[in-house]
Structure 1
Amino acid sequence: MPTNFTPSRDIPDLARKVILITGGTSGIGRAAVLSLAEHNPSHIYFTGRNAQAGAEVITEVRTLAPACPITFIQCDLCSPRETIRAALSKHFNHSSRLDIFIANAGVMAIPHGLTPEGYEVQFGTNHMGHAVMMKQLRGVMARTADSNDVRFVALSSVGHNMHPPGGIQFETIRTADALGKWANYGQSKLANILYCKAMAKRYPKIMSVAVHPGLVRTGLSKSIRAESMVMSWMSWLMSSMYKSPEEGVYNTLWAATTPRGELTTGGYYEPVGKKTAGAKACSDEALADKLWDWTEEELKDMEEL
């Protein structure tokens, strides 16, 4: 268990590694892009909704690591699956490789709504958006894993503990307001953990882990502080506990780059590198299988690369 993980010192040379990071234009995702770029990867791809923000990150990378090949993919995770598929297909094909997929992007406790494909917006963004990407890319990752260390790192949250009774209420996923927005958030973050567990079972060559970044000062935490007087007061009390994105990314970077033997596939880790069981539902193999089967049925019209 790492006690003083320092990215600049502890991330190894990433020569030949191809990396994909979602939500790389701000917060933890941006911090991950900048940190990994300094360790000689073969290529970094990162997604985001804002092309201008993407261009600014590329400028930063070219200052820090001029030799690092980097590509921005404009993509909103709540977009229709065909839009996500088309965005990825421009850069990944049957002959591609992908060594590290960091599913970082997400939303938290936003107002009730549905994605264009009719999913509750937090579940649709935090789980389904990444599942669409994984359905398309897991063949590429599996082929890369035949002779390389390949990893899927999903950002979950200790907020998964706020999941509704039963863990995931599949019957309400296409209803915007069946649950409170915090229960919807907890359900989506539990899904991130369970999906990693299901991936580990079906693709054992791919190291699949979920991580909690800790309390981090990002756009997500700002939305909590603005939500109500009570939440603002609680946030003020906890302000000394908040990390910067540059510190909040440590658990992600550790999971993506630490020696493979320090990880357990399907595991859930709190900062930094502390394997924990999480809520009882995190260990529910039947629920993980149900989520996998439900997701596969939803995406049955999609093909792997």
Structure 2
Amino acid sequence: MTPDLRSPAHPAPPASLQGQHVLVTGATGGIGLITARELAARGAHVTIVGRHPERTRDAARQTGAHDTLLADLSELAQVRRAAQEYTDRHGRLDVLVNNAGAFNARRAETREGIEQTWALNHLSPFLLTRELLPLLRQSAAPRVVTVASAAHAMGRVRFDDPEFRRGYGGWAAYAQSKLANILFARELARREPGLRSNSLHPGMVATGFAHNNGGLVSQAYRVVDRFAITPEQGAQTSIHLAADPVTVSGRYFSESREVTPAPQAQDDGAAFRLWILSEGYLD
């Protein structure tokens, strides 16, 4: 009898990305680095984005990335520059993985005067995707993968004060930004029917998350890391959405499966309002 090569005992080989151009943000460590490495291993021409020259060069060596872009994605001017540099160098994009993000226990603003969590976690992927849409539209099967979090369930979009100028809380700001990621992916799917746009929860991953805050926050997450999954495990849903046969768009995934997000993440009216709000930052 001929064996069933699709059975669990004979899993299908990974989908080839030969000839595909992929851009991954936040790829100097954690799940971003693993995502870039695995997509390059499938044959993709991978470009990674990082802030620090040495770390970015080292990540390129580890992942087999073909090119690097240096940018602090919390600053919108640098997001625009990175998008233009990518366009000028490559002129083609099939998959964009919006992976960069951070948690900030204390409120701070970027040099452009925007609250850091809102700027990096939401406005950055919103602007980068918008700037690269002309390239994505030229692809035969474009994809945008946006890394969100189960923390979205604790969030709400403060349309009257998205930068928490009043009553800042690190977790509230983070949860809002992760909810915004899902709403953005949902609205992008509605506006661009030829593009597959999905968001995901990677799981609680030991990546050094929140260690940048120091003090008790950093100490607490060093304990959490002992019980977290590995970056290799956490990257699997990003890899699945970027490379495997996925036909749906505007959906939310966890453990490489479509799951239902919190009710506020299914609000199409809020998704539309968020898009308009976000565009207001780009004028």
TM-score past 0.5 threshold: yes
Structure 2 equivalent of residue 72 of structure 1 = 68
Structure 1 equivalent of residue 266 of structure 2 = 283
In the TM superposition, residue 237 of structure 1 has moved relative to its aligned partner by: 6.9
2:94 to 88, 91, 99: 99
Structure 2 equivalent of residue 66 of structure 1 = none
Structure 1 equivalent of residue 56 of structure 2 = 54
Q: Distance in 1 between matches of 2:93 and 2:267?
A: 29
What RMSD in Å do the two structures reach over aligned CA positions?
A: 2.7
1:198 has 2:201 as partner: no
Where 2:91 maps in the other structure, the secondary structure is coil
Contact in 1 for aligned 2:198/2:252 (Cα 8 Å): yes
In the TM superposition, residue 225 of structure 1 has moved relative to its aligned partner by: 9.2
Where 2:179 maps in the other structure, the secondary structure is helix
Contact in 1 for aligned 2:211/2:222 (Cα 8 Å): no
Cα-to-partner distance string for 1:199-229 (whole Å, 9 max, x where unaligned): 0000011100001000100121545895359
Contact in 2 for aligned 1:208/1:265 (Cα 8 Å): yes
Structure 2 equivalent of residue 297 of structure 1 = 280
1:135 to 127, 130, 133: 130
Contact in 2 for aligned 1:27/1:218 (Cα 8 Å): yes
Contact in 1 for aligned 2:208/2:222 (Cα 8 Å): no
Distance change (3 Å), C-alpha of 1:20 and 1:3: farther
Structure 1 equivalent of residue 142 of structure 2 = 150
Distance change (3 Å), C-alpha of 1:284 and 1:52: same
2:246 to 257, 260, 265: 260
In the TM superposition, residue 171 of structure 1 has moved relative to its aligned partner by: 1.8
Where 2:198 maps in the other structure, the secondary structure is strand
Aligned residues: 277
2:231 to 241, 245, 268: 245
1:29 has 2:16 as partner: no
Structure 2 equivalent of residue 187 of structure 1 = 176
Contact in 2 for aligned 1:13/1:40 (Cα 8 Å): yes
Where 2:143 maps in the other structure, the secondary structure is strand
Contact in 2 for aligned 1:114/1:175 (Cα 8 Å): no
Cα-to-partner distance string for 1:274-303 (whole Å, 9 max, x where unaligned): 21221110111100000011112322x4xx
Q: Distance in 1 between matches of 2:151 and 2:266?
A: 16
Task: Could you tell me which runs of 5 or more consecutive residues in structure 1 were left unpaired when the two chains were aligned.
Answer: 63-68
Distance change (3 Å), C-alpha of 1:10 and 1:155: farther
Task: Could you tell me which runs of 5 or more consecutive residues in structure 2 were left unpaired when the two chains were aligned.
Answer: 1-5
